[in-house]
Structure formats: structure tokens, C-alpha cells
Chain A
Amino acid sequence: MAPKSETLTSDPATDSIDPILHILRLVPYAFLRPPRLRLKLPSLTLPSPMTTYSLTLLTYFMVVSGIVYDVIVEPPGIGSTQDRATGAVRPVVFLPGRVNGQYIIEGLSSGFMFVLGGTGIVLMDLALDRNRARSVKVSFASAGVSFVVIAYVMSMLFIRIKIPAYLR
């Protein structure tokens, strides 16, 4: 298909057999002149893999903290129980009794522990990259190991508090 032309006297326009082109030349564009615009369509570039990975990590944190459970069941942020002897109200962090139930804050803190553990392993891999300074590599490695250890210990503690009969 020949490219459409806007001026009336260019040769490709008169050579064209396209009827719509001829109609358009006559009806609006005989007396209308399109303005010269300097608009450009924004070009979309794909994000880099690591950007996508960080977004993914954020989504994973939200899902694994039980955000869908929070939205549908609407549990309180933190539970409370009344002390029988003194009548004072004490906060309860972990919803007792069921495996599939949580308060909002306990969900978020457990999700944070999981993401911390994952980040620790990623840091350990980054520490083996040969193109970094030695001090950076050492700090990455030690941070990675400590993250994994902390995350594992805390997760075990959480699950033991939540389910008293765990591994007994």
C-alpha cells in the first residue's frame, strides 16, 4: 500500500488507485491543514529482571503473610484475653487453637521471617560474586548466614508458640 501523502501535488498521491485516499484529499483535507505536532508515543521498556524480582518478593511477602485471610475474615490486629485473677486485659499475639487462623500482626511478622530467610540465601550467593571488593563480600556472607539462622530460629519459635503440640 503506498504511503498516504498530505500535500495535493505530490506524485504518489495522484498515482494511487485507493478511492478513500482521493475522497479524503477532496473532502476535509482540501481546506483543512493538520497542525505540526511534536508528540511522541511513550516507549514502553520492559523492567530489568532484578526489578521484577523485587516486585515479586514484595508480592510473596504479602501473600504468605495471609493478606487474603486478613481481607476476608477481618481478624483483629492483635487478640486480647482477660486475666481471670486481676481482670486486666492482656494482649495475645498468636491465635491459639487452630492451624488455619491468625491475627494480622502475627501474619505479617511470620511473613517477614520467611522473606528474611530467602534474602539471606540470596546474599550468600551475592557474596560469591568475584567482581566486588573483599570487605563487601565478607559483609554479605556474614549478613546472609545470620539472616538465615535468625529466620529459621524465629520461625520455629513462632510455630511452637502457635501449636503447642508441635513435634512432641
Chain B
Amino acid sequence: MVGKVEAVNGGVKPTTTTPASSETPADLAPPAFSFRALKLKTKQQELLIRVTILCLVYVLAFIARLFSVLRYESMIHEFDPYFNYRTTLYLTQKGFYEFWNWFDSESWYPLGRIIGGTLYPGLMVTAALIYWTLRFLRFAVHIREVCVLTAPFFASNTTLVAYFFGKELWDSGAGLVAAALIAICPGYISRSVAGSYDNEAVAIFALLLTFYLFVKAVNMGSLAWALASAFGYFYMVSAWGGYVFIINLIPLYVLVLLITGRYSMRLYVAYNCMYVLGMLLAMQIRFVGFQHVQSGEHMAAMGVFFLMQVFYFLDWVKYLLNDSKLFQAFLRITVTCAVVVGAVALGVGTASGYISPWTGRFYSLLDPTYAKDHIPIIASVSEHQPTAWSSFMFDFHILLFLFPAGLYFCFKRLTDATIFIVMYGLTSMYFAGVMVRLILVATPAVCLISAVAVSATIKNLTQLLRAKNKAAGPGKGATSVKASSKASLDQSLPFQRNGAIALLVGAFYLLSRYATHCTWVTSEAYSSPSIVLAARGAYGNRVIFDDYREAYFWLRQNTPSDAKVMSWWDYGYQITAMGNRTVIVDNNTWNNTHIATVGRAMSSYEDEAYEIMRSLDVDYVLVVFGGVTGYSSDDINKFLWMVRIGGGVFPVIKEPDYLVNGEYRVDKGAAPKMLNCLM
């Protein structure tokens, strides 16, 4: 039993490892009320400490994400959340059937967009349910407030799931540390701050929940837990496209268990139930459709499913046959046949086109150089750049040291659960190295493994401390045995106890530095709404630019309601949500040719651009220019991407035309094509 009190937000507290002995100051008690009634047993004390810590961590996770709400106002940040907000608004106003069958003619003019079939509804449905529940309880909230605060609420729930997962993996001490670490880890905060109403806000909760339920099912072998994990998987599929990670990691985990000889009935029950039910449930989402049987990315799960059946069959035959040699021959033949049949089926499926190959987005994770050469639109997104060491340090701090130590402890005590977390950690760290955005997916694994390291190290140190306290213990057999064996060593390491105290203080110092770092990073780097900008003026005063919202409001007030606005795809969602006007292209980027048309219009000479714009019925053009204020991510900076994407489809646009000696200039000495183009 280790009752731990974790350093919270800069405070440094020593552990309380003394066993239960609550004093009863009966002599001080007033006669009417005796403190003797409050005397708690050890187990109750431990429960109280654990519940208190969890409540504090829950509240901490929520309030750490509220910086931007306090500094600016409660508004939606960035670009993608505006689309999610608009769809949630539509859902609460018109109801679920209208939402599910919605065809939107206000974006991607003149093509329109089938919104019902091309989004992941989990986030919107969750927020709408919370909104309806609060309304039912007669709280008159606006849907925008619910949307803004959905992400911190689900981050708090994630800390609870992390506690249970840590308890499953190691022990309850590790669970508490994991909850505390994940509550403030900047890698998670970056995408779940209040106002960041994006899919990842609920997706990370669903991811961790699915993994926890599956590991619990494998440990217990119970059908009920496997069913729960299937429903957790359904929630994840409805929430985010990153569910492909789950449907590939779990089969890989099962394969590793099979290879290391840990096949068991529990694994069979858990995986089969989860795969079949999860697949059927996932097909209910229109956006996913039949991909689970048709797409190359999901074939690993199916292959492992069949392999499990082969294992079960072999086990049954082994039970029937009592002859070992006969069984060996049978085993070899069956395994060879199964592998050959599987390979042939995969080959036929891929060759006939029924099984589609890996899509570019996920293929570029396996081969990072693919996107740079072939798909400029994926390569242009700043979140998709590979990760440098400083991004890791920024988002993880101390956890980068604790991660390899935690891996060591997991390898020392290999169980089904620790094998899972090791695999999750390693695969997610590799993907985090490929793409900055995926640091988010690695964060729960890193926090859990680091929690194992912290818990094991502190347990070692406190055991050193307690080695001499033979008399005070409440008679735990193991402790006294260790005490007697340590007693013989105590003479040889005279400063052992002081050393242990010093190391404990050092450990808590490091954890408090982690908390300070996380708070600083959250406050400085991850709480900016991106739609409202702040800068220091000439006299050191803070200047706030609300230009984006003012521009969209101007569009809303001063243009006819059927006006079409052309802009670069970054701003599409915001224009439709706030300006309420039809746009030509937006952030969904589902049609590369349409975007290339806009890119071509922006980079052609004005007369050619006019022809293109007339053909698209464009009335207004929106561009962002940051030259006056020194804002550096404006359209001039993004212009070369417009050229590259336009040139990818229309070879008439060539990038070297816009460069001077290979250098991009925008002043008087710029290339003539650059000076005369629409931009």
C-alpha cells in the first residue's frame, strides 16, 4: 500500500508513508462530540486519500485548460472547430435526422458537400447530448459554451480512465501518478484546451477507454468487458479518423502475444468479441462504410482474426489427439496451408481492386518521404511536419527521461497488460516522430509508462526508508522479512536512509519542475485562439487584433446573402460559420482539383484569373495580408503552396516563374509574374 500525495502545480510535498495510526485527542474533545468517532481504519484512510487525489486531479485537468477563456473570451479557436460548431448548431436546431441527411450547398460551390456522409459525428452528438441534458435540468446554456468546454470536460474524464488503466497495469499508485501526469501534460493540452472544439478532444478519451476495456477483457477473459470494449471502439470510430491506429495496434498486440506463447482462452474471447462486434458497429458510420472489409488498412485485423481461429482449431486438435509426433506433423501442414491461403486471398483481393491500397495520409506514416514527393497538400500542413527534439522536450519534459526507465520496469515484469502498454508506447512514439500532430496520440502511453517508472522508483526508495522501522509497522509479514534482510546490509550502507531521503526530495523536485513547465507552456504557447492575435505594441502595451472576426462580420453585414467568396482553403470553415456566406473551397480539402483551380486563379495574371473567377461565379475575394502588423502566416507566406498545388494539376503554373535566382522575393525585385499575378 502506498498512499501517495502528488506534487500539484508547483507545490513540493514529502510522501506520507507512515502506516495508519490516527491519534484520538480524547482529552481535547468537547464532551458533546468525540473525535473517536472519526477514527478511520487503514483501508478507509487509503480510500479517502485516493478519492481526494482523484478529485483534485479532475479539477486540475479542467482548470489548467481555461487560460484563453479567462484572457480573451469564451470563443471557438482555430479553423476546424468552426465547422464542428456549425454542424453542432445545425444538429441542435434541426434534429438528428436532418443532420444525418444534410447536403450543404454553402461550401465547395458549385459542388456542394454531403455533410452527413463525410464527417465523424461523435463529437457533435456528444456536445448535443450534453446540451440537451443541461437544458433538461433547466440550465439555460448556449450551445457555444457547451462546445467550448467539451474538451476540458473530456480531458478530466481521461484522467479517470488513466487512473483505472494504471491500476490495471501496475498498481493503484501508478494509476494515481498517471492521472496526475496526464492532467497537465502539454502534449494533450495542446489539442484539448477550452475552445479547441475538435475531434481529438473526445477521441483521446475514447482511445484510452477502448484500450483500457480491451486490456481488462484480456486480463479477465470476460465477455462483458469485451463487449464494453467493442462499444468503446464504436465511440472511437464515430469520433476520429485515427481509429485506424486502434484497429492496427490491437491485432499487432495479439500477434505479439501469440508469438511469445501467451495464447489463452481469455485472449481468444476478448479479441473475437471485440473484432466482430466492433466491426459491425463501425459500419454504422456512413463515413467509414464498408472500409473494414474493403480497405488495406483494416486487413491486418482480419488476418489476425483468422489466425486466432487457426490457433483455436490447433488447440482443439491437440486436445483430441494424444500423439505428439502426429500432432507436430499436423501442425506444420495446417500452419503452412493457413498462411498460403491467407496470402492468396490477400493477393487476389488486392489485384482485383476489391481491397483498396493504403490511402496517402496513412501511407505517409509508414514511408515519410512519400508525401513530400507525391502529395503536396498533405506536405503543406504545418502539423504534418516531422518532429524535432525540441518539440518532444516542449511537450513531454521529464517524461522523456521516465519513458525508457518505465520501459525497463515493464520488461522486468512482463504480463499481458505490460506487453500492451510497451507496444502502444513504442508504436505511438515512432508515429510521433514522423508527424508533430501525433504527439497527441503518444501522450497517454508516455504518461502511463512514466507513471510506472515513478511509482516503482518511489516504492524502492520508500522501502529503503522503511527498512529500519521494524517496530512501527502493523505487522505485515513481508515488510518484516525485508527489514531483517536489510538489517544485515544496513551496517554496510550507513547513509542509506539519508541517501533515500535525499533522492526522494530530488524526485519531488523534478516532478514540481515538470508541473511548472507544463503550466508555463500551457499559458504561453497553447492558449492562443489563433483567430484573435495579441502582440506587443511600440510602447510595450498589449495590442489585440480581432481582424479576422471583424472581416467575417463585415461580410455578414455588407454583402448580399447569396454572394460567393473565394479565398484560400484555410479560411473556408470560418467564413461559412461566422460570415454565413458560400465559399468555393474550405478546410475539408476533399477535392484537390477544385483547390488547384483556386490556386491557379490566385497565381495567374489578372485577366486569366478574372476568367476563372467568372466561371466560378465568384463575387468577393478574401486575402489575408500581414505586412502592416508583421503577422507572418498570411497569404503571401502561403503563396508558394498555392503555386505548388495549382501547378500539380495545371502544368501551366510553374514554380520557378515566381522565384528570383531560386529565392522567393515580394519586394520591388520580385519576379515579373509574381508582381502581376492576382495575389
Residues in chain A within 8 A of chain B (CB atoms): 3, 46, 49-50, 52-53, 56-57, 59-60, 63-69, 71-73, 99-102, 106-107, 110-111, 114-115, 117-122, 124-125, 128, 130, 134, 138, 141, 145, 148, 151-152, 155, 158-159, 162-163, 165-167
B563 to chain A, nearest CB (A): 38
**A64-B392, A125-B456 known; A100+B387 contact, CB < 8 A:** yes
Q: Check B389 against A72 for contact (C-beta < 8 Å).
A: no
Q: Check A100 against B390 for contact (C-beta < 8 Å).
A: yes
Could you tell me which residues of chain B, from 417 to 444, have a CB within 8 Å of some CB in chain A? 422, 426, 429-430, 432-434, 436
Q: Check B426 against A148 for contact (C-beta < 8 Å).
A: no
Q: Check B389 against A110 for contact (C-beta < 8 Å).
A: yes
Q: Check A53 against B411 for contact (C-beta < 8 Å).
A: yes
- In the assembly, what is the distance between CA of A162 and CA of B391, in Å? 11
Question: Does B412 have its Cβ within 8 Å of any Cβ on chain A?
Answer: yes
A123 to chain B, nearest CB (A): 10
Q: Which 3 A-B pairs have the closest CB atoms?
A: A118-B404, A117-B401, A121-B405
Of B404, B493, B506, the contact of A122 (CB 8 Å cutoff):
B404
Sample of 21 A–B contacts (CB below 8 Å):
A46-B260, A49-B412, A53-B411, A56-B411, A63-B433, A64-B400, A64-B433, A68-B368, A68-B434, A69-B385, A71-B369, A99-B394, A100-B436, A114-B401, A121-B457, A125-B460, A134-B489, A134-B493, A148-B506, A151-B401, A167-B516
Chain A residues whose CB sits within 8 angstroms of the CB of B464 once the complex forms: 128
A64 to chain B, nearest CB (A): 6
- In the assembly, what is the distance between CA of A46 and CA of B259, in Å? 9
A-B contact count (CB 8 A): 148
Chain A residues whose CB sits within 8 angstroms of the CB of B409 once the complex forms: 125
Chain B residues whose CB sits within 8 angstroms of the CB of A114 once the complex forms: 400-401, 404
- In the assembly, what is the distance between CA of A165 and CA of B394, in Å? 13
- In the assembly, what is the distance between CA of A141 and CA of B489, in Å? 15
Other A-B pairs beyond A145-B503, A159-B394, 11, CB < 8 Å: A60-B426, A63-B433, A64-B389, A68-B386, A72-B386, A100-B388, A100-B390, A101-B388, A120-B401, A130-B485, A159-B390
- In the assembly, what is the distance between CA of A159 and CA of B389, in Å? 10
B529 to chain A, nearest CB (A): 19
Of B392, B405, B503, B520, the contact of A118 (CB 8 Å cutoff):
B405
Of B369, B403, B492, the contact of A72 (CB 8 Å cutoff):
B369
Nearest opposing residue in chain A for B329, CB measure: A3
- In the assembly, what is the distance between CA of A115 and CA of B400, in Å? 8
Chain A residues whose CB sits within 8 angstroms of the CB of B391 once the complex forms: 99-100
- Quick one: CB contact mask for B600-621 with A, threshold 8 Å, 1 for yes? 0000000000000000000000
B466 to chain A, nearest CB (A): 13
A98 to chain B, nearest CB (A): 8
- In the assembly, what is the distance between CA of A155 and CA of B492, in Å? 35
Chain B residues whose CB sits within 8 angstroms of the CB of A66 once the complex forms: 386-389, 392, 433
Question: Does B622 have its Cβ within 8 Å of any Cβ on chain A?
Answer: no
Q: Check B460 against A118 for contact (C-beta < 8 Å).
A: no
Chain A residues whose CB sits within 8 angstroms of the CB of B433 once the complex forms: 63-64, 66-69
Q: Check B390 against A57 for contact (C-beta < 8 Å).
A: no
**A71-B368, A125-B457 known; A102+B390 contact, CB < 8 A:** yes
Nearest opposing residue in chain A for B510, CB measure: A152
**A114-B401, A118-B404 known; A63+B430 contact, CB < 8 A:** yes
- In the assembly, what is the distance between CA of A122 and CA of B407, in Å? 10
**A46-B260, A124-B457 known; A60+B404 contact, CB < 8 A:** yes
Question: Does B191 have its Cβ within 8 Å of any Cβ on chain A?
Answer: no
Of B368, B385, B405, B432, the contact of A100 (CB 8 Å cutoff):
B385
B341 to chain A, nearest CB (A): 19
Question: Does B308 have its Cβ within 8 Å of any Cβ on chain A?
Answer: no
Of B408, B430, B485, B520, the contact of A167 (CB 8 Å cutoff):
B520
B59 to chain A, nearest CB (A): 25
